[in-house]
């Protein structure tokens, strides 16, 4: 199960992108998301795609791995394409069946939406492929610090995110363990009819949920027993340090944002 | 027929950059009706090896033959249900594998999947429960209401209830107290010797299994580095630390006796009782010799 879910896992190739400050990567990601939303034409989207491929290549992780990260969302992408094709009208008629017709504007809007989503998912995977959950958490905490004045606790939010990120693979492992036990006793999900599949998956919910709560309780007890208090001052084991490389990385993303806006207007 | 592994390799996440090879070019031949112990340091591939025997994992290279079922890497799979009916697999941390609403439902899950009638399944469940020393009053309880030790025993019982021909257990004694561990090993030994079942046990406690195992496999870095009988393991025990294992106390004691009395040709005594008895015999013989010498010199 975890083998299929690549997003959220660190793939350490020791590239320059891996060594960047997580705050730089998070900022770049926000800029990238803004650029993806702003890209409304083929030239803007294609230049963004070329830029994404270049950054992905810098991570030394095969491009196929990024595509695999987006694979679980292919049904959703297909759904978006169909909805856009059905909803958006205009341009020339490409296909007609009775009263229904597929317009070129609908197909183009659908393809734009799918490409935008694929770019966003693949590129978000870059963040988790190149940053360990701990560093990501640290980066998030650092970025949220200015909001402390508004009553938002960055420590609480980053702790929640960090634990959630760590629990996803743990819970998937737990579910896989039970599914393996069921398969070894003659109920292999792959060999069962759909109705039975649904029943077996429902049977997973209770033990996996109970186990997640138990893990959470154990984790809280373990942290408290080792002196952890939310809000108490703590020193960082590996403090973050911002370098010129980080500034350059963010600057490149600012430029690509400006480029997308410029292409959109002219 | 038994179990044969020919040039078997297994890689997790084989098609991703996170791939990890757990088994490398493994060649194994396990006879039916024997009790085999598998030992090795953490990450040596023991658990992966066991999961190949039940078809839970499929080889990424080579061929696994269990009884009359052959699983070849890259080929279309046969139906696995007949294999799983005959090979019962107890995973590591089996207490995490109970999922039904009551213990009884969990115990009958396997037998019902393999075509037993509800009455037959219930009878098998009770028999397995009794074999594991659990009370019938627990049958109506939710598995999560059982204690840690009870859950582990219940998970083992859920596999015993299927009455498989081959029993494969991944560290079944971990977290059980010593009495329960000894009882479990004796039960598995009895199933092997009296009912002809093939039993394969992964263990870190070599000392406890040494008196019972017919054959040993030592795994290191995804490969079996030793395969053979206890005698062979005793002779090559000095290499165990190289594989991340400590030399079992019973083997160390036997080596002491062997060196002191020149017992190299003898079958080693590896249980505490057998060792103590042999040591007593040897000391009595020594004492008699000394007495005779005294008598003669007088």
Close Cβ partners of B185 (under 8 Å, ≥ 6 residues apart): B173, B201, B208, B209, B212
Q: What share of chain A is helix, strand, coil (3-state, %, to 5)?
A: 70, 5, 25
Give me the percent of chain B exceeding a pLDDT of 90: 54
pLDDT score for A8? 66
Q: Do B99 and A68 touch (CB under 8 A)?
A: no
Identify from A186, A188, A193 which residue to disrupt to test chain B contact, counting B C-beta atoms within 10 A and taking the largest count: A186
pLDDT score for B220? 95
Residue B50: pLDDT band (50, 70, 90) is: very high
Judge whether residue B285 has pLDDT over 70: yes
Q: Which residues of A touch B56 (CB under 8 A)?
A: 180, 183-184
Q: Do A188 and B162 touch (CB under 8 A)?
A: no
pLDDT in tens, B79-105: 888 889 899 998 887 667 788 888 999
Domains of chain B as residue ranges with CATH: 3-14+21-248 (3.40.50.300), 249-298 (no CATH)
Nearest CA in chain A to B87: A184
B13: alpha, beta or left? (left if phi > 0; alpha if psi -120 to 50) = left
Q: Which residues of B touch A13 (CB under 8 A)?
A: 17
What is the reported pTM? Answer: 0.77
Instruction: Enumerate residues 225 to 284 of chain B having a beta carbon within 8 A of any beta carbon in chain A.
Output: none
For chain A, report the end-to-end CA distance as a whole number of angstroms.
46
Q: Do B16 and A13 touch (CB under 8 A)?
A: no
pLDDT score for B131? 87
Q: Do B16 and A188 touch (CB under 8 A)?
A: no
Structure token pair of residue B217:
């496999």
CA angle (A32 as vertex; A27, A37 as ends), nearest 5: 130
Q: What share of chain B is helix, strand, coil (3-state, %, to 5)?
A: 45, 20, 35
Say if CB B212 and CB B173 are below 8 A apart: no
Average pLDDT on B129-150 reads: 87
Q: Enumerate the domain spans of chain A.
A: 22-146+242-265
Structure token pair of residue A161:
């995110």
B147 touching chain A per CB within 8 A: no
Q: Is the ipTM of this complex over 0.90?
A: no
How confident is the prediction along chain A (266 residues), in pLDDT tens digits per residue? 555 566 667 888 889 999 999 999 999 999 999 999 888 888 899 999 999 999 999 999 998 888 888 888 889 999 999 998 888 888 787 777 777 778 888 888 999 999 999 999 988 889 989 998 888 888 988 888 888 888 888 888 888 887 887 788 788 888 888 888 888 888 887 777 888 888 888 878 888 888 888 888 888 888 888 888 877 777 877 888 899 999 999 999 999 999 988 887 66
B30, β-bridge pairs: B3
Average pLDDT on B29-55 reads: 93
């Amino acid at each position: 199960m975890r083998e299929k879910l690549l997003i959220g896992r660190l793939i350490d190739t020791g590239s320059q992108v891996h060594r960047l400050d997580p705050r730089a990567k998070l900022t770049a990601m926000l800029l990238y998301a803004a650029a993806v939303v702003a890209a409304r034409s083929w030239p803007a989207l294609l230049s963004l795609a070329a830029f994404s491929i270049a950054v992905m290549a810098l991570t030394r992780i095969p491009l196929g791995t990024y595509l695999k990260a987006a694979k679980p969302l292919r049904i959703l992408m297909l759904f978006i394409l169909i909805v856009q094709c059905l909803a958006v009208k205009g341009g020339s008629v490409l296909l007609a069946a009775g009263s229904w017709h597929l317009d070129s504007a609908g197909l183009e809007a659908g393809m734009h939406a799918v490409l935008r989503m694929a770019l966003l998912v693949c590129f978000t995977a870059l963040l988790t492929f190149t940053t360990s959950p701990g560093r990501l958490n640290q980066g998030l905490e650092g970025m949220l610090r200015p909001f402390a004045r508004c009553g938002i606790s960055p420590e609480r939010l980053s702790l929640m995110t960090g634990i959630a990120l760590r629990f996803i693979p743990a819970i998937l492992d737990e579910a896989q363990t039970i599914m393996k036990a069921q398969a070894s006793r003659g109920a292999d999900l792959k060999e069962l009819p759909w109705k039975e599949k649904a029943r077996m998956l429902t049977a997973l919910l209770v033990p996996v949920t109970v186990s997640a709560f138990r893990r959470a309780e154990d984790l809280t007890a373990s942290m408290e027993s080792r002196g952890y208090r939310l809000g108490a001052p703590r020193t960082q084991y590996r403090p973050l340090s911002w370098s010129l490389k980080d500034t350059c990385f963010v600057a490149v993303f600012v430029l690509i944002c400006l480029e997308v806006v410029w292409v959109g207007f002219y | 027929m038994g179990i044969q592994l020919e040039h078997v390799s297994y890689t997790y996440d084989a098609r991703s950059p996170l791939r990890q090879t757990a088994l490398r070019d493994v060649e194994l031949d396990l006879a039916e009706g024997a009790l085999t112990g598998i030992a090795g340091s953490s990450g040596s591939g023991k658990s992966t090896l066991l999961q190949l025997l039940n078809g839970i994992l499929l080889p990424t290279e080579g061929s696994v033959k269990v009884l009359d079922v052959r699983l070849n890497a890259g080929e279309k799979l046969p139906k696995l249900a007949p294999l799983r009916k005959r090979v019962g697999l107890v995973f590591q941390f089996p207490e995490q594998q109970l999922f039904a609403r009551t213990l009884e439902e969990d115990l009958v899950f396997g037998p019902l999947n393999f075509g037993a009638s509800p009455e037959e399944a219930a009878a098998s469940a009770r028999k397995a429960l009794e074999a594991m020393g659990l009370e019938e009053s627990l049958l109506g309880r939710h598995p999560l209401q059982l204690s840690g030790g009870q859950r582990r025993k219940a998970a083992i019982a859920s596999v015993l209830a299927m009455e498989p021909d081959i029993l494969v257990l991944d560290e079944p004694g971990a977290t059980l107290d010593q009495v329960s561990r000894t009882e479990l090993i004796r039960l598995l030994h009895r199933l092997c010797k009296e009912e002809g079942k093939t039993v394969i046990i992964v263990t870190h406690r070599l000392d406890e299994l040494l008196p019972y195992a017919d054959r040993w496999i030592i795994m290191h870095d995804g490969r079996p580095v030793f395969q053979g009988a206890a005698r062979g393991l005793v002779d090559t025990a000095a290499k165990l630390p190289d594989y991340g294992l400590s030399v079992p106390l019973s083997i160390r004691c036997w080596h002491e006796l062997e060196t002191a009395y020149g017992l190299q040709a003898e079958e080693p005594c590896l249980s505490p009782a057998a060792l103590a008895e042999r040591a007593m015999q040897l000391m009595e013989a020594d004492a008699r010799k000394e007495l005779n010498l005294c008598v003669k010199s007088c």
